[in-house]
Amino acid sequence: MELIIYLLIGAIAGFTAGLFGVGGGLIIVPILYIVFTQLNYDPNVIMHIAVGTSLATIIVTSISSVMAHHKKGAVLWSVFRNLAPGLVLGSFLGAGIADLMSGQHLQLVIGIFAIWMAFKMFRGAHGVVDPNRHLPSAPIQFAAGGGIGAASAIFGIGGGSLTVPFLNRYGVVMQKAVATSAACGLPIAVAGAVGFMWFGTKQQVEVPNTIGYVHIYAFIGISIMSFITAKVGARVAHRLSPAMLKKCFAGLLVTVGCYFVYKGLF
């Protein structure tokens, strides 16, 4: 029965991710939090397990996504090579930071981030891409990767909402920014998931079917179904207007954000 629940979560997360064109992290985390609460898991680690498991599932979806973008020749691999070391280091460090935070603080941080993302999306603030601008030096890209990786691991996301604006700012067109961001999601997810397993193991988390802060059954169920239903969501998205999609997703993020802010405060 538990595995069926995770398959259903994967179906919802995958469909939503395909519909709105984003990673499913900010969808998976709140649903897992609710499910783990209903299963009476230790409330001190529920949020950490939700985030760690979310990162683990992004490994699978990121591989699928980057393969599709690579076939179209849209991934800027030279930029990826500059960002990746920082992404890996930052993601592992982010997992360590999350481990030091209480469940309530983690809820509060993720809730505020979700509301901020909703505000940006509702305003349609993507910025104008200036093709005359150039990416900064390799060391600065490494540092940027570190910041993106750390934040992504704490929030349990693939980092697209942070990587794409960074690349846009330096003149990378949207298609290539999205494709390169998809590639960047893999080192973020791998290092973040390993970090959450590592730090969770040291905390001796007493929750069944987990390795550290990653729930194995949830990882398997969500990965399988999200891989399938993301394609369905993408097909539905083409029938709706981009403006409507943005507003719907912004509304969803506001709901998630307010929920976690409320839980974090009260």
Average pLDDT, the chain: 90
The pLDDT value recorded for residue 79 is: 96
The pLDDT value recorded for residue 124 is: 65
- Residues 57-70, mean pLDDT to the nearest whole number: 85
DSSP 142-211: HHHHHHHHHHHHHHTS-SHHHHHHHHHHTT--HHHHHHHHHHHHHHHHHHHHHHHHHHHHHTT---TTEE
The pLDDT value recorded for residue 168 is: 87
For the ranges 20-34, 61-75, 197-211, the one whose mean pLDDT is highest: 197-211
For the ranges 83-87, 229-233, 237-241, 262-266, the one whose mean pLDDT is highest: 83-87
pLDDT, tens digit, 9 for 90 and up, residues 162-202: 998 899 889 998 788 888 998 999 999 999 999 999 999 99
Where does the pLDDT of residue 128 fall: very low under 50, low under 70, confident under 90, or very high at 90 and above? low
200 Cβ neighbours under 8 A, 6+ residues apart = 45, 48, 49, 52, 99, 210, 211, 212, 213, 214
pLDDT value at 126 more than 60? no
The pLDDT value recorded for residue 86 is: 98
- Smallest CA-to-CA distance from 99 within 49, 159, 32, 149 is with 49
Domain count, the chain: 1
Question: Could you tell me the sign of the dihedral formed by the alpha carbons of 108, 110, 115, 119, in that order?
Answer: positive
Q: Which of 70-74, 121-125, 143-147, 227-231 has the lowest mean pLDDT?
A: 121-125
Measured torsion, CA atoms of residues 88, 92, 93, 99, in degrees rounded to the nearest 10: 160
- Smallest CA-to-CA distance from 97 within 258, 213, 266 is with 213
pLDDT above 90 covers a percentage of the chain that reads 59
pLDDT value at 23 more than 70? no
Contact criterion met (CB below 8 Å) for 110 and 266: no
- Residues 148-175, mean pLDDT to the nearest whole number: 90
The pLDDT value recorded for residue 198 is: 97
40 Cβ neighbours under 8 A, 6+ residues apart = none
What is the span of the domain harbouring residue 29? 1-265
